[in-house]
Chain A
Amino acid sequence: QKEVEQNSGPLSVPEGAIASLNCTYSDRGSQSFFWYRQYSGKSPELIMSIYSNGDKEDGRFTAQLNKASQYVSLLIRDSQPSDSATYLCAGDQTGANNLFFGTGTRLTVIP
């Protein structure tokens, strides 16, 4: 089982809609989770980090963490065409200082 799993998509949503991205992880000891956005040919960019159960909001982005069910999600409200990118979910590894990345979900926001 992969440490971090994501639906590879592609996910298409119309402009203005809510995009929902999901991620599950296998290491129950993981404490930190991150969402990165990666445009084609570019390096990943950190957009959200979450450490506690519940929701964390930042502008149009809301990260949700449920440690009991071992999933992390990212909601993008009022989706814009500029949000079209690959979104990578990452979680830390117990006792180590590196991150496990999911394979990424390709999001397309249709104007």
Chain B
Amino acid sequence: GAVVSQHPSWVICKSGTSVKIECRSLDFQATTMFWYRQFPKQSLMLMATSNEGSKATYEQGVEKDKFLINHASLTLSTLTVTSAHPEDSSFYICSAANRATEAFFGQGTRLTVV
């Protein structure tokens, strides 16, 4: 399958600081990338859909000013969690879709806000 690389795999930050997570499709061009959040023992929750060169579409209840998404190229999307708080601690996963709408996931980022 296609390769999607997500970094960092884990990060610990202080409350009030910002954290940037990168998602790269390594061997295909992804016009659309998705950002998910997953709390323990729960399924994936779609946060936003990101199309290259345009603003991201956020799901209801997701604060767009807090979770900044940039999709500047066909192979890179970034998620910045601004002014992080302990309740933002979660597993953040990106995925990139190919033309067949198959979604390939990055390794995920475990964010812990202390």
**Residues of chain A at the chain B interface (Cβ within 8 Å):** 32, 34, 36, 41-46, 49, 88, 90, 92, 97-99, 101-104
Give chain B residues whose Cβ lies under 8 Å from the Cβ of A32: 100-102
Say which one of B62-70, B73-81, B82-90, B103-111 lies at the interface with A: B103-111
Residues A46 and B1 in contact in the complex (CB < 8 Å), given A98-B34, A99-B103: yes
Contact A43 B102 (CB under 8 A): no
Contact B101 A97 (CB under 8 A): yes
Query: What secondary structure prevails in chain B residues at the interface with A?
Result: strand
- Give the size category of B's interface with A: 20 to 34
Q: How far is the CA of A88 from the CA of B32 in the complex (A)?
A: 21
Contact B44 A44 (CB under 8 A): yes
Residue of B nearest to A100 (CB): B46
Q: How far is the CB of A7 from chain B (nearest CB, A)?
A: 13
Q: How far is the CB of B23 from chain A (nearest CB, A)?
A: 11
